[in-house]
């Protein structure tokens, strides 16, 4: 879609979807959650159109909720027009940032937007949104499993402490992800989210490699990107090289926030396609500052930054891939955009 290159994982998802649409037994895969396979089976023309539709939906949903929109209320035509104009502007910004990622047959956008909705559920103390959107996100992409397990348990304990009964509904999260555990047990005889031996391979790869980047594979000592450490994370930990570990974490933070790929493209043809610059770091820090100011105004700073910090912390432990912080960048763009509107919301003109 829009001429962005399809490759590698994108082709794999398409093939898995075709097999799943023919035979239900083929919907289980040893290192792909069943949700991702079924989603591709439901999208015979690829995930790209669906991903762009999700970007549009998220823009409209976030702008409407932050503007105080409520179902059942009547609003003036001018208020609705202002809301739609504001949402359109947000959607265009997201397209500029992520059109490349949304235009390939990867599950990053679909799972990421569901994860973002779940984070909004945690922020707004909405048990249903946290549980259902979070569960579906994990069922599509396992990268969000551990952060959401922590959030769901946190939310449940918080509700029990505050004696809020709605906290029990967050248990729906476990109902959503149960099919993946049951299917894996059925195929392997072991109660795990993904097939254990395949999972071990990918864990070793993520923790024991010195390469950077999904869209651009870069050795950590090459070109524009350099780390002072020559060790991978696993080796540094085993040798108790704590300084080297800190260097690795700093280098990975730099990869995430000091580099950028125009249009958010995936499957780059050259390492020069990724731009490294101190100005990009300043740009990211500016968005962080604007987002914090906006969230202070809303009074939900820690409830938003807790889940995003969990995602970032996990991303620093594994091979740096820009898609791992898609959700973080998604919110940075949206909150920076919202900051420039007075009071972060459109004044209501209910009739």
Question: Could you report the per-residue pLDDT of 132-156, keeping only the tens digit for each?
Answer: 999 999 999 998 999 999 999 999 9
Are 61 and 119 in contact by the 8 Å Cβ rule? The answer is no
Band the pLDDT of 230: cuts 50, 70, 90.
low
Whole-angstrom Cα distance, residue 32 to residue 6?
A: 18
56 in Cβ contact with 13 (< 8 Å)? no
Closest CA to 275 of 263, 286, 287: 263
Joined tokens for residue 158: 């918080």
Q: Which of 117, 102, 111 is nearest to 64 (CA)?
A: 117
- Helix (H) or strand (E) holding 12, with range, is helix 9-22
Rounded to two decimals, the pTM is 0.90
End-to-end CA distance of the chain: 42
Average pLDDT, the chain: 87
- Supply the DSSP string of 26-66, one letter for each residue: GG-BTTB-HHHHHHHHH-TT-SHHHHHHHHHHHHHHHHHHH
Phi-psi region of 341 (alpha: psi -120 to 50; beta: other; left: phi over 0): beta
Q: For residue range 15-46, what is the model confidence (pLDDT) as tens digits? A: 888 889 998 888 899 889 999 999 999 998 88
Tell whether the model's pLDDT for residue 224 goes beyond 90.
no
């Amino acid at each position: 879609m829009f001429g962005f290159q399809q490759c590698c994982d994108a082709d794999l998802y398409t093939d898995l979807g075709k097999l799943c649409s023919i035979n239900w037994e083929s919907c289980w895969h040893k290192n792909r959650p069943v949700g991702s396979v079924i989603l591709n089976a439901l999208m015979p023309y690829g995930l790209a159109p669906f991903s762009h539709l999700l970007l549009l939906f998220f823009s409209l949903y976030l702008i409407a909720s932050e503007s105080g929109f409520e179902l059942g209320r009547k609003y003036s035509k001018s208020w609705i027009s202002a809301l739609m104009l504001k949402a359109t502007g947000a959607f265009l910004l997201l397209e500029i940032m992520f059109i490349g990622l949304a235009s390939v047959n990867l599950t990053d956008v679909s799972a990421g937007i569901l994860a973002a909705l779940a984070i909004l559920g945690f922020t707004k103390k909405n048990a249903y949104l946290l549980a259902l959107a979070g569960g579906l996100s994990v069922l599509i992409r396992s990268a969000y499993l551990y952060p959401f397990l922590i959030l769901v348990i946190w939310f449940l304990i918080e509700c029990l402490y505050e004696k809020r009964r709605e906290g029990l509904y967050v248990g729906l999260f476990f109902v959503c992800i149960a099919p993946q555990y049951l299917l894996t047990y059925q195929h392997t005889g072991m109660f795990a989210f993904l097939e254990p031996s395949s999972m071990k391979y990918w864990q070793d790869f993520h923790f024991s490699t010195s390469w950077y980047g999904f869209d651009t594979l870069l050795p950590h000592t090459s070109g524009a990107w350099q780390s002072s450490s020559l060790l991978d994370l696993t080796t540094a930990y085993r040798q108790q090289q704590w300084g080297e570990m800190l260097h690795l974490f700093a280098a990975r933070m730099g990869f995430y926030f000091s580099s950028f790929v125009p249009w958010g493209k995936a499957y780059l043809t050259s390492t020069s396609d990724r731009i490294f610059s101190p100005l990009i770091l300043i740009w990211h820090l500016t968005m962080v500052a604007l987002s914090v100011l906006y969230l202070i105004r809303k009074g939900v700073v820690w409830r938003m930054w807790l889940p995003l910090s969990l995602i970032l912390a996990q991303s620093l432990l594994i091979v740096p891939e820009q898609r791992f912080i898609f959700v973080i960048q998604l919110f940075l763009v949206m909150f920076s955009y919202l900051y420039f509107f007075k009071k972060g919301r459109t004044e209501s003109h209910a009739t």
